Amino acid sequence: MDDNSLAIGVDLGATKIATALLARSGRVLRVRQAPTQAAEGANACCQRIADEIRALLAEQSGDVVGIGIGSPGVVDSERGIIRDAINLAWGEFEIAKELSHRVGDLPVFLENDANVNAVGEAMFGSARGSDNVVLLTVGSGLGCGIISEGRLITGGVGIAADLGHYSIDPDGGRLCVCGNHGCAETVVSGQGLIANARELLADGPSQLRNDGTLTSDAIVTAARNRDPIATAAVDLMARWLGQAAAVATAVVNSDVVVIGGGLGTAAFDFMKDQVTHQMHRRLPPSYRGRADLRRATLLSPAAGAASLVWSRLGNGKA
């Protein structure tokens, strides 16, 4: 495999399928997007992914050496099986084998979506050059991926670093979709941020309204305009995110902590100081200042999935 090789990445989300064609240098050459339509079933969705991949293959002139998939939920990366993807409402689906058959038997590699983005940030993004990385993605939920000594940490059954369901307030916290109370993503996520704002709106005047216009984007925009309720809602999210970042950093002794995801990157400037402060409060002095907090820089989540190809084929450490 030479430096001119190409890889295709697939970011399988609850509402959309993002695909990208990536050069070995990390340059994104092409991107595509299609609706997931998960309710139609795993086989129909797999066919849509195959159609997107074939469209990218038709547009390239280099050698595509493999396909990487980042999926929500619990995955069996060794066997290429998606399990318990709640956002997709699927049971168990052997996606790597099914997809490979539909795209000319190219090798297909599967990982959790937060994990593939950790690989991508370590190879080509804001953590490039670091062997010890924590990635926290803030979007519809809170995901986490960890690189330690250049290797992706997945754990015994592939659910290592599931900090979104680490309970920060198990006694009085909000009910989580997992059944526990006070999980980190009940505050650190799009819906968590909206819940934060709703609870705070009774405290004073705000440009925000507790109706259908109350979205995470609207809250971040209001925070930019120095709205006190929006600022407090983001600050609460940042405090909990800082606690999750401290836990991961204490375990891994990371050089870099990357904040990614659509909401995480959008609100990064408002959260950076508070996240850093919370990490300093909770970590021993020997850790302080050693984990640089950075915004994710990959152009597409599918680029992280493409990075998985070189990682698995031996051309990348993670």
Rg of the chain on CA atoms, in Å? 19
User: Does the pLDDT of residue 71 top 60, yes or no?
Assistant: yes
pLDDT for res 2: 62
How is residue 40 annotated by DSSP?
A: G
**What percent of the chain has a predicted confidence (pLDDT) above 70?**
98
pLDDT for res 72: 84
User: Does the pLDDT of residue 144 top 90, yes or no?
Assistant: yes
**Do 115 and 74 form a contact (C-beta atoms < 8 A)?**
no
Q: Which of 11, 17, 30 is nearest to 69 (CA)?
A: 11
pLDDT for res 47: 96
Confidence of residue 203 (pLDDT cuts 50, 70, 90): confident
Mean pLDDT, the chain, integer: 92
Burial status of residue 222 (CB atoms within 10 A of its CB: 0-12, 13-18, 19 or more): buried
**Do 117 and 145 form a contact (C-beta atoms < 8 A)?**
yes
What average pLDDT does the segment 19-43 reach? 93
Full set of structural domains in the chain with CATH: 6-120+300-312 (3.30.420.40), 130-295 (3.30.420.40)
DSSP H or E run through 152 = strand 151-152
Residues 6+ apart with CB under 8 A from 101: none
The tens digit of pLDDT for each residue in 253-303 reads 999 999 999 999 999 999 999 999 999 999 988 887 788 999 999 988 899
The tens digit of pLDDT for each residue in 235-259 reads 999 999 999 999 999 999 999 999 9
Residue 295, SS3?
Answer: strand
Exposure string of 102-116, with b = 16+ CB inside 10 Å and e = fewer, is bbeebebbbbbbbbb
Backbone φ and ψ of 217, nearest 5° = -60, -45
Q: What is the pTM of this model?
A: 0.91
pLDDT for res 317: 52
What's the token pair of residue 269?
């400037």
pLDDT for res 287: 80
What average pLDDT does the segment 24-47 reach? 93
What's the token pair of residue 13?
């989300």
Question: Which parts of the chain fold into alpha helices (H)?
Answer: 42-59, 95-102, 113-124, 190-200, 216-224, 228-252, 262-266, 268-282, 301-312
- Residues 112 and 115: their CA atoms lie apart, in Å, by 5
What's the token pair of residue 15?
């509402």
User: Does the pLDDT of residue 57 top 90, yes or no?
Assistant: yes
- Residues 293 and 291: their CA atoms lie apart, in Å, by 6
Task: Determine which of 62-76, 77-91, 234-248 has the lowest per-residue pLDDT on average.
Answer: 77-91
Amino acid at residue number 178: C
